[in-house]
Amino acid sequence: MISDRWMRWPSREVLTREGQSLARLWFVRVLRVVIAGSLLWNAFHHDRGWRLAAGIGLVVLCAGLVWAFLRTSFDHRLWLSVTLLVLLMGCGYAAQVGDWRVLALVLWCGTAVLSLERLPLLAAAVCVPLAMAAFAAYNNDNWLVTGLVVVGLALAGYTLRLDADARGNAQRLLAQERAARTAEAETAALAERARIAREIHDVLAHSLSAQLVHLEAARLLIEGEATRDQILERVVAARSMAREGLEETRQALSALRGEMTPVEDFLRELVASDRASVSVTGARRALPAEASQAVRRVAQEALTNVRKHAPGAKVLVRLAYEEREVTLDIRDSGGAPGELAASGAGYGLLGMRERAELLGGSLTAGPGEEGFIVTLKVPT
């Protein structure tokens, strides 16, 4: 079986001017004009009359065949491309018969170079010997010079092919890098949206659910003709929860802007009105935004659960900075469930556990020797 390398076309990217510098494009254009002008002058400056007209017609025909070959080779049409190259070789023979020897030699040499640059190697291996055989047959130089020219032309054509392949690979890598950057930006945007959604959910769901419980209790008290003080107590509690929710929302917005206070300061402010103590161990350092938010939200949720299920219990909050992670441990001394123990949907700790797992950490929650223990571990 023939190797794919021998049957593979140069990619379309390398057959275009895309990726070439402006200086290179202008250099190639000027070089072509100079070479074409020199050849035409050398071939036709002695001709007059019909010979000059025939020569110009032959040049126009060759230019049309070259243009057609460039198009067909770009479209990877093998047989038509080979046919056009054979016609160009025939034009070289016609130029030799018409005594335009320089034009003939250039056509044969150019045909060999184009074959190596733009055709599959197997097709080029057929076309190049034909063109070089015609060149060697009609070249008047000695055999050594002719052989060196043939080898040089083969190397030049193959070098152009390797250069085009290198440019094509560079363009493909650049396109892949751009696609990867675009995908990375989209992924980052989606992750940021998910983070904002989690923050909004954690703040609003907690605050609004508590307000709903108090307002529903106030409605039931009104329907049951309770005393004014009982109803006012519920309304005041709902207002307090609304105020706390607003403050948490402001803290969440500050966190999204990267304006967060240190975690240990946040924990001390959080437990200021509770029977709780905060201890911090390890070398304090700034935490990544996601890790910092996870610690804050778990602390809020755990203390809220203590207020619901064990109001008045003593709480110990311990924050430990370790080498590769930070650990938050919240323990309470237990107690009788409060009147809000049945409120909420029960998804708080589940949401916190999902948040921790998204960061590569873990959250455990369960009864301890006296009360309840919540432990969060987040890599930093």
Burial class (CB within 10 angstroms; exposed 0-12, middle 13-18, buried 19+) of 138 = middle
Domains of the chain (ranges, CATH numbers): 4-140 (no CATH), 262-380 (3.30.565.10)
Structure tokens at 148: 């060196």
Give the pLDDT score at 208.
Answer: 74
> With contact defined as beta carbons under 8 Å apart, do 84 and 65 qualify?
yes
Structure confidence by residue, pLDDT tens digits, 30-86: 766 666 666 666 556 565 667 777 777 787 888 888 888 888 888 888 888 888 888
Mean pLDDT (10-residue bins), the chain, 380 residues: 67 62 68 66 63 77 85 85 87 81 80 82 80 78 74 77 74 81 82 71 70 78 79 80 72 63 82 79 84 85 80 86 91 65 52 82 85 89
Report how far Cα 199 is from the mean position of its chain's Cα atoms: 26
> If you search the block for the tokens 């080498």, which residue do you land on?
323
Give the pLDDT score at 321.
Answer: 92
Give the pLDDT score at 157.
Answer: 75
Give the pLDDT score at 1.
Answer: 47
Give the pLDDT score at 260.
Answer: 65
Query: Burial code of 198-209, b = ≥16 C-beta within 10 A, e = fewer?
Result: bbeebbebbbeb
